[in-house]
Amino acid sequence: MKKSILFVAALAMTFAACQSNYDVEDKTVATFEEAAISPAEPESYLAFNTDTTAYLESGNFVAMQTVSYGGTYVAGAVVTNITDTTFKDYQDAYKSIAGGAEGGKNYVVWYEDGFSGNAIKLKTPAVVPGMYVCNNTYAYSSMKYGDAIAGEPFGEDDYLLLHIGGALDGKVVDTEVEFYLAKGKNIVTEWTYVDLKQLGTVDAIFFTMTGSRTGEWGLNTPTYFCIDNIGVK
């Protein structure tokens, strides 16, 4: 499998999150601004409280959310508009460490559990130009400060790597894009553009994650990350 590896060094991270210049009239871009998030609360997130598979449409994209165990377990996409970056425990997971969306108000926090089969589907197959990616507060806190599951803060040999794959007509494409959410002590803290054109024409995008903090049951680092403006050029 061919791979495109994108590593953003610490200095590059500082400057990567310039305001997006996407065309707001481009209706194919998934901004998730359509989502109605808890009108009674100025900032919150959209997650179902009953077992279901939800399909969150925006632009040319449909993001999957799987809810199980009586609404207590949510994997895949959760639309949020929270700008606060405070992290106390896993209940603060639906926040970007950058402090809100890359553009607009809403964005997605994605939890990749490795078995629910969630993906982002395209209504019409296309070459996806790219999207913006950032760490969420849960993963950032674990990597920066350490926790009871993952252990000590990240050192020079640690990493968290996001793998972005594509599929067309049920067949996985040959090319994969990789993006380091952290490499050593360099942890992504700003929205960063990830070019996806190398995937070619796809009708689905899916994610896997690997990292240095791996145990018997897989990654010990929280497998959460944030995405916004899917399909932006």
Q: How far apart are CA 199 and CA 220, in angstroms?
A: 28
2 vs 63, 116, 159, 199, 200, CA distance in Å? 25, 25, 20, 10, 12
Rounded to whole angstroms, how far apart are CA atoms 76 and 116?
8
C-alpha distance across the termini of the chain, in Å? 25
Q: pLDDT by residue (tens digit) across 106-154?
A: 999 999 999 999 999 999 999 999 999 999 999 999 999 999 999 999 9
- 84-99 pLDDT per residue, tens: 999 998 889 999 999 9
Q: What's residue 42's pLDDT?
A: 79
Q: What domains does the chain contain, in order, with CATH numbers?
A: 2-228 (2.60.120.1350)
Q: In angstroms, rounded to a whole number, what is the distance separating the alpha carbons of residues 88 and 81?
A: 18
Distance of alpha carbon 233 from alpha carbon 227, whole angstroms: 15
